[in-house]
């Protein structure tokens, strides 16, 4: 069963059946345990989806949505989003070394050597993903995020180009009173230090949020140190009853070393080593391989509501990035700037008392310019210029959606977007071209139809059909081979899914089960040349069939026992059957092979225990199945079990001041594994060793 901490995963059909039977049996038990009209207040509040611009109960949403609230984020160690995001079924976040993250939804890691591809991210009202398809999620400090919503599967009808999904990051807490100051300091193994302080102040019409954080770590491996200074402010002015203006500004100065991948023998001999010298190439240490990223991001939004029927929202945003990457083979310098707008008009009304509807129409447009210079890397210093290019990506899309809520029982949605994308490039060295070249992709229509039906107060059935589309990013058009790949085509495909949500009348038990089938054409796959430089190819088509299960169970609630004040269990189970259906390069045929980089199954189980005197214990177990590391499926990473533990005490001092003391441990089982493998790596350098058993502790104060 899904609660067995991942044991027996070689028999997926038994697991699927056991999980569904367990869900149904626990639902039946939980329904009978409390009357429907009970006045008792329960610890699992009704979750509301806000990513569609208006609040909607998650229980009735037709979409596959994963949510992580502020309480769940606080249960984790707080200096990385990795363990929290991995608690959502279908979501996988990896950490190749401190500061180097990868985020994928439903297997979208296939084309990501690092960073994020074909997933769209928003920070509050503003797109964090630029027009070139890149997202600097590692520029953010984990402590600045208070709420996460994840739409799984293609959501191009409202959010433009993506085939994996959409992530909304909320930087403001919903539990704040009129004013609050919070400060926290965490230290731990391998030189970890994470400091943060925030100020929230609410006046009658004006809210001020200021956040500052500093993080550093020496890293587990050689040449894996990181450091980040992060500043953020979010301000909102409600200048009338129905209108407000919002300003977001952030600055991030991030540096992290990149140790490079190891072969199996190197990984077994010394997992803490950086990539050694080999052939004509120096080691990662000698080349001082690293990433230097300074980013400024700003957004200004305005919202107006007209007589409870109309709403207009407009958001302007822009960013500047100074990026440097001394690598094994070269030294890359990028100057990037992005500007854009997202706006929509919403109209809601009702045909009758039983039929309420909402219709919106809008536009999102942005442009990213990137000036890229590649030099030789002479022991971490820029050498002679090798190539210089200017690239500019432009994308814009029009979108509209109509939804109806019928008798508080049926939610029907129909949405569509019209997407335009182009990029242009010009070589300044060594060719010194006088004109730029423009590549236009065919406009794409991305529809979505979804329906949810509340069978009874404890059970909702849902179904949806949607199309996804993702053009090559600028980093794929011009990868680290320093060449322009103009033949690279967008990937696109249709997604079909159906599922059930269940909950007890008391909401002590909640379950979300979904089956999906995604057919992706022209899938983009990462490969490496003989020098270890990345390039990308279209790999034909893929068949992606999956099951995702999310369970929450409140085993014990406040007042039921004197000693145990609360006990909550959460479980996320994922089973994927992802294969290439038509993929051949030269004489190599990879058709019907497993999709590279995607574990067939994962199980993440967490337990949160509340004791008297505000003492708590949190434990989390992660089982990840073995992962194919190359398209030929000739090399696999071993499956692994991870166990983490955190304990803390909240101690009120005087009026309005609360201290919290906490300590924890990660990888308690001392598992040797790679969290962020290099796929299709030349020479078999697939492995980036994750830390062995490590510890942390800290203190926070809230006033």
> CB of 410 within 8 A of CB of 367?
no
**What are the backbone dihedrals phi and psi of residue 612, each rounded to the nearest 5 degrees, phi first?**
-60, 165
Which pLDDT score is estimated for 53?
Answer: 63
Which pLDDT score is estimated for 17?
Answer: 46
Give the whole-angstrom CA distance, residue 606 versus residue 555. Answer: 13
Which pLDDT score is estimated for 37?
Answer: 35
Which pLDDT score is estimated for 175?
Answer: 66
> CB of 271 within 8 A of CB of 281?
no
Which pLDDT score is estimated for 114?
Answer: 72
* pLDDT tens digits for range 308-330: 899 999 999 999 999 999 999 99
Sequence ranges of the domains in the chain? 12-702
> Residue 405 CB: number of other CB atoms within 10 A?
19
Give the whole-angstrom CA distance, residue 612 versus residue 532. Answer: 55
User: For the purposes of burial, counting CB atoms within 10 Å of the CB of 192, is it exposed (0-12), middle (13-18) or buried (19 or more)?
Assistant: buried
Give the whole-angstrom CA distance, residue 462 versus residue 223. Answer: 48
Calculate ∠ Cα 615-618-622, nearest 5°. Answer: 175
Residue 427: name the closest of 479, 388, 392 by CA.
Answer: 388
H or E element at residue 520: strand 509-521
Calculate ∠ Cα 618-623-626, nearest 5°. Answer: 160
Calculate ∠ Cα 595-6-518, nearest 5°. Answer: 30
Which pLDDT score is estimated for 39?
Answer: 30
Residue 38: name the closest of 454, 559, 406, 460 by CA.
Answer: 559
Residue 35: name the closest of 457, 506, 456 by CA.
Answer: 506
> What percentage of the chain carries pLDDT values higher than 70?
92
What token pair was written down for 622? 């992660």
Give the whole-angstrom CA distance, residue 469 versus residue 323. Answer: 28
Cis bond before residue 430 (omega within 30° of 0): yes
DSSP helix/strand/coil, 311 = strand
> CB of 393 within 8 A of CB of 484?
no
Positions of E strands within 308-380: 310-326, 331-352, 355-378
* String of DSSP letters for 675-691: SSPPTT-GGG--B-BPP
**What are the backbone dihedrals phi and psi of residue 463, each rounded to the nearest 5 degrees, phi first?**
-150, 150
> Residue 668 CB: number of other CB atoms within 10 A?
17
Give the side-chain half-sphere CA count within 13 A for 89: 27
Architecture category of domain 12-702 in CATH: Beta Barrel (2.40)
> CB of 297 within 8 A of CB of 336?
no
H or E element at residue 422: strand 410-429
Which pLDDT score is estimated for 196?
Answer: 98
**What are the backbone dihedrals phi and psi of residue 268, each rounded to the nearest 5 degrees, phi first?**
-70, -40
Averaged pLDDT, groups of 10, the chain, 703 residues long = 39 44 40 36 58 78 94 94 97 94 87 82 96 95 96 94 94 79 97 97 94 98 98 96 96 97 96 94 96 98 91 97 95 97 94 92 97 96 96 97 95 97 96 92 97 96 97 92 91 97 90 97 85 84 96 84 88 97 88 95 97 94 96 96 97 90 98 93 94 98 94
Residue 488: name the closest of 521, 522, 532, 520 by CA.
Answer: 522
Which pLDDT score is estimated for 32?
Answer: 38
Residue 495: name the closest of 60, 157, 131, 75 by CA.
Answer: 157
Q: How far is CA 522 from the centre of its chain?
A: 23
DSSP helix/strand/coil, 117 = coil
Which pLDDT score is estimated for 9?
Answer: 44
pTM across the whole model: 0.92
Going by their DSSP bridges, the two strands 444-456 and 410-429 should be labelled as antiparallel
């Amino acid at each position: 069963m899904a609660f067995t901490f991942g044991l027996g995963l070689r028999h997926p059909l038994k697991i699927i059946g056991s999980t569904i039977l367990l869900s149904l049996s626990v639902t039946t038990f939980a329904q009978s345990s409390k009357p429907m009209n009970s006045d008792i207040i329960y610890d699992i509040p009704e979750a509301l989806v806000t990513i569609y611009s208006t609040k909607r109960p998650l229980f009735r949403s037709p979409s596959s949505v994963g949510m992580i609230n502020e309480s769940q984020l606080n249960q984790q160690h707080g200096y990385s989003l990795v363990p929290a995001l991995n608690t959502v079924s279908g979501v996988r976040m990896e950490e190749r070394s401190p500061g180097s993250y990868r985020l994928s939804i439903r297997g979208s890691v296939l084309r990501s050597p690092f960073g994020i591809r074909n997933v769209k991210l928003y920070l509050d009202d503003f797109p964090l993903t630029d027009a070139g398809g890149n997202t600097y999620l590692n520029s953010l400090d984990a402590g600045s995020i208070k709420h996460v919503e994840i739409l799984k599967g293609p959501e191009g009808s409202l959010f433009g180009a993506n085939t994996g999904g959409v992530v909304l990051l909320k930087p403001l807490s919903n539990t704040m009173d009129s004013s609050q100051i919070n400060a926290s300091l965490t230290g731990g193994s391998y030189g970890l230090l994470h400091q943060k302080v925030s100020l929230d102040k609410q006046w009658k019409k004006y809210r001020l949020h200021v956040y500052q954080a500093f993080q550093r770590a020496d890293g587990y491996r050689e040449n894996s140190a990181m450091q980040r200074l992060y500043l953020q402010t979010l301000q909102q002015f409600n200048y009338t009853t129905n209108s407000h203006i919002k300003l977001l500004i952030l600055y991030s100065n991030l540096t992290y070393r990149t140790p490079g991948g190891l072969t199996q023998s190197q990984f077994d001999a010394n997992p803490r080593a950086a990539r050694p010298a080999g052939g004509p190439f120096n080691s990662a240490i000698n080349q001082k391989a690293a990433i230097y990223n300074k980013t400024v991001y700003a957004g200004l939004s305005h919202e107006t509501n007209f007589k409870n029927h109309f709403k207009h929202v407009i958001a302007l945003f822009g960013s500047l990035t100074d990026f440097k990457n001394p690598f094994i083979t070269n030294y890359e310098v990028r100057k990037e700037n992005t500007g854009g707008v997202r706006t929509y008009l919403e109209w809601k009304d009702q045909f009758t008392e039983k039929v309420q509807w909402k219709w919106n129409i809008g536009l999102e447009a942005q442009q990213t310019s990137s000036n890229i210079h590649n030099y030789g890397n002479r022991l971490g210093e820029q050498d002679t210029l090798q190539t210089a290019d200017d690239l500019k990506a432009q994308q814009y899309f029009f979108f509209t959606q109509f939804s109806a809520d019928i008798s508080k029982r049926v939610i029907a949605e129909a949405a569509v977007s019209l997407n335009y994308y182009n990029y242009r490039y010009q070589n300044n060295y060594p060719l010194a071209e006088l004109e730029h070249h423009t590549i236009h992709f065919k406009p794409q229509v991305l529809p979505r139809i979804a329906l949810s039906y509340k069978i009874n107060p404890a059970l909702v059935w849902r179904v949806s059909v949607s199309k996804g589309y993702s053009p090559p990013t600028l980093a794929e058009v011009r990868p680290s081979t320093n060449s322009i790949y103009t033949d690279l085509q967008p990937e696109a495909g249709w997604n079909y899914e159906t599922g059930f949500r269940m909950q007890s009348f008391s909401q002590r038990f909640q379950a979300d089960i979904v089956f999906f089938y995604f057919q992706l054409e022209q899938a983009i796959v990462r490969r490496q040349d003989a020098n270890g430089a990345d390039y990308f190819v279209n790999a034909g088509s893929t068949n992606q069939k999956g099951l995702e299960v999310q369970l929450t169970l409140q085993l014990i609630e406040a007042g039921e026992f004197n000693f145990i004040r609360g006990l909550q269990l959460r479980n996320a189970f994922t089973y994927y059957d992802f294969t290439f259906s038509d993929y051949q390069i030269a004489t190599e045929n990879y058709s019907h092979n497993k999709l590279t980089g995607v574990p067939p199954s994962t199980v993440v189980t967490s337990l949160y225990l509340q004791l008297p005197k505000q003492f708590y214990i949190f434990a989390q177990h992660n089982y990840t199945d073995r992962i194919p590391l190359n398209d030929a499926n000739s090399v696999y990473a071993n499956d692994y079990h991870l166990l983490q533990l955190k304990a803390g005490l909240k101690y009120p001092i005087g009026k309005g001041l609360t201290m919290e003391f906490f300590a924890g441990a990660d990888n308690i089982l001392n598992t040797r594994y790679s969290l962020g493998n290099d796929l299709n790596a030349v020479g078999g350098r697939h492995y980036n060793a994750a830390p062995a058993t490590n510890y942390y502790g800290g203190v926070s104060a809230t006033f």
